[in-house]
Amino acid sequence: MIRTLAVATTLGALTATTALAQGIDVKLGVLNDRSGVYADLSGEGSVVAARMAVEDFDAAAKGLNVTIISADHQNKPDIGSNIARQWYDADGVNAILDVPTSSVALAVADITAEKNGVLINSGAGSTALTREQCKPTTIHWTYDTAALANGTGASMTNAGGKKWFFLTADYAFGHSLEENTAAVVKASGGEVVGTVNVPFPAQDFSSFLLQAQGSGADVIGLANAGGDTVNAIKQASEFGITQAGQKLAALLFFVTDVHALGAQTAQGLSLTEAFYWDQNDQTRAWSERFMAIHGKQPTMVQAGVYSGTMAYLAAVQAVGSAKDGAAVAAKMKEADIEDPLFGTVKVRGDGRATHNMYLFQVKSPDKSTGEWDLYEQIATISGEDAFLPMLPECDFTKK
């Protein structure tokens, strides 16, 4: 009996050593925008974040041979899906990371499910990724438009901003952002005093801003993104809207955008993010290392790529192989994850990673001590409140 046990242990130890020597091959593909409008908030920074995750996970010592490749999807779904297919078919990629731009993300999510890889999305905001088009192999980290709407809408209404006026970009994304936020505002006891649809893309917001100013609203919600939001904020600053007492709320905005505008122009702007570099010692320490490599502070998207990669590698190690994407994704959903950047993260059955979201306000220039000292934390929104509830048909853990 004892002998058999001894033999078994030796055999076990032997197999363990061979497994360790051979290692588990993991190939990660960072697919994002590296030349267009989202290059700043994802781009090369996300690749840096993924590399840092591999380093911090101590992958080599744990028997994981991780390689990282990256490509530019130019925000075009056909280019993105072509690269994703090629990565899975020809290059042996196991997981795709980041993927901003919803149209590309949805296309890549489909292909990932078909090829049994894992998509850990950090850059795209579409809630469809874990709802209408949910897949067992999709993990959606960091944020979605509903979480941003919930964060900004509920917190600002509770803080006294009862009357809202929306500037809405006139396309599906703008309308859904406005609808989500308006619903939250009403549920929190606020009211919507007016809405104006702005053609997309727009350069001149003056007449819309004047309407908003004259509406008597407490909060002006900007249901748009990217260049439109930047233009609206710049012009609002020229009209002195925030100085006059109205609050400006950007419903989809990132720290790199605020940095580009500067505290002078963006002061008083409220926005929701999942991560800010200057939150606690851990985020500061990590961001300092990131800054040393990349030269900019990380965005929440880049931080999300880091955390998502860490969680993915842990799951691969636990499963013992990266080949079966569905199994790895299921592993990621098993237990709560203690993450250095996002705190406690729970990956739900539909692939939605939930964690705290934070409402920030941009500091005025006299309070800001450096070019990256931009935010003041106003409120914390718990994961359950921030994200939409799970659709029962999307709960892949119950099957």
Partner 1 sequence: MVPETAGMTRLHLAIFAVLLAFLIILPFFVYPVFAMKVMCFALFAAAFNLLLGFGGLLSFGHAAYFGGASYVAAHAAKVWGLTPELAVLCGTAAAAFLGLVIGSLAIRRQGIYFAMVTLAFAQMVYFLALQLPFTGGEDGLQSVPRGDLFGVFSLQDSIPLYFFVLTITFSGILFLYRIVHSPFGQVLKAIRENEPRAISLGYDVNRYKLMVFVLSATFAGLAGAVKSQVFQLASLTDVHWAMSGEVVLMTLLGGMGTIFGPLAGAAIVVTMQNYLATFGAWVTVIQGVIFVLGVLLFRKGLIGVLAQWLKRPL
Contact positions vs partner 1 (CB under 8 A): 34-35, 39, 43-44, 69-74, 76-79, 81-83, 85-86, 89-90, 102-103, 106-107, 110, 126, 128, 133, 171-173
Query: What is the rounded CA–CA span in Å between residue 134 and residue 320?
Result: 25
**Which residues of the chain form beta strands (DSSP E)?**
24-32, 64-72, 95-98, 118-121, 138-140, 163-169, 191-198, 219-223, 247-250, 269-273, 337-339, 343-347, 353-354, 357-362, 375-381
Query: What is the rounded CA–CA span in Å between residue 321 and residue 218?
Result: 54
What stretches of 127-243 show up as alpha helix (H) in DSSP?
A: 145-158, 172-187, 206-214, 226-239
Counting every residue written for the chain, the total comes to 399
| 47 or 300: CB nearest partner 1 | 47
| 61 or 172: CB nearest partner 1 | 172
| 100 or 343: CB nearest partner 1 | 100
Query: What is the rounded CA–CA span in Å between residue 84 and residue 314?
Result: 23
Cβ of residue 68: shortest distance to partner 1, in angstroms?
Answer: 12
Cβ of residue 107: shortest distance to partner 1, in angstroms?
Answer: 5
Cβ of residue 170: shortest distance to partner 1, in angstroms?
Answer: 8
Cβ of residue 214: shortest distance to partner 1, in angstroms?
Answer: 28
| 45 or 161: CB nearest partner 1 | 45
Kindly state the tokens that stand for 306: 């880091």
| 224 or 356: CB nearest partner 1 | 224
Going by C-beta distance under 8 Å and a sequence separation of 6 or more, which residues neighbour residue 129? 102, 105, 106, 109, 121, 138, 140, 144, 351
Q: What is the 3-state secondary structure (H, E, C) of 8-24?
A: HHHHHHHHHHHHHHHCE
Q: 164 and 188 in contact (C-beta within 8 Å)?
A: no
Cβ of residue 72: shortest distance to partner 1, in angstroms?
Answer: 5
Cβ of residue 94: shortest distance to partner 1, in angstroms?
Answer: 18
Cβ of residue 173: shortest distance to partner 1, in angstroms?
Answer: 6
Cβ of residue 95: shortest distance to partner 1, in angstroms?
Answer: 17
| 87 or 277: CB nearest partner 1 | 87
Q: At 77, which helix (H) or strand (E)?
A: helix 77-89
| 181 or 283: CB nearest partner 1 | 181
Ramachandran region, residue 343 (left: φ > 0; alpha: ψ -120 to 50; beta: rest): left
| 91 or 334: CB nearest partner 1 | 91
